[in-house]
Amino acid sequence: MLKECVWCVWKRAIRSRQLPWWLKRKMATARTQQVKIRKIGFSVLSHPADIGLEVKAKTINQLFQYCQQGLYYLLLGPTVKLGKKKIQKKIVISGLDREQLLVKLLNEVIFCLMVKKQFWNKLKIGFCREARKLSAVFSGYRLAAGNLFQHEIKSATYHGLRIERRKNVLVARVIFDI
């Protein structure tokens, strides 16, 4: 039995407007998924030349996660198109205090998003207070083609940065350099 060549299958598919099963499967795996970024725990601050976030959370882990979500909201807007390939990354950051750890983590997130086109939708954080280290495990997807950046953020800055406790809530103010 003779198999059809790919060109013949394509010609027949174009004429009949029906695609073969293997091409349908290939196209189904190439589709993208759309994710909405929830605007929870943060508000956008206006700054003369930059842009900032004010983030409120009950725990330090939540605070770092809300800062990451707010950064994604500033960069990509409320909806994001993601690819199908799952990726995971683990990093260890050392710093003098919580503020420095936050800036280093946000700068790593900016680098991964802007350069490597990686979107992290899950973040697990562990702190070691004695060694002043933070270990983070990111898991997420690659960005699909067609995402437009609303702002081009270069980095998180130390200008006006503070993490303070107000009543039972941690509040952080972060300014980003655009």
Q: What is the rounded distance in angstroms from the CA atom of residue 69 to the CA atom of residue 11?
A: 47
Q: What CA–CA distance (Å, rounded) separates 163 from 115?
A: 28
Superfamily designation of domain 32-177: Archease domain (3.55.10.10)
pLDDT over threshold 50, residue 30: no
Q: Which of 39, 45, 57, 46 is CA-nearest to residue 164? A: 57
Q: CATH 3.55.10.10 in the chain, residues?
A: 32-177
1-10, 87-96, 118-127, 133-142: which range is least confident on average?
1-10
pLDDT at residue 19 is higher than 80: no
pTM of the model: 0.77
Q: Greater confidence, 128 or 20?
A: 128
Cα-based distances in Å from 95 to 17, 61, 102, 164, 170: 60, 16, 9, 17, 19
Q: How far apart are CA 59 and CA 85, in angstroms?
A: 31
The mean pLDDT value for 21-50 works out to: 65
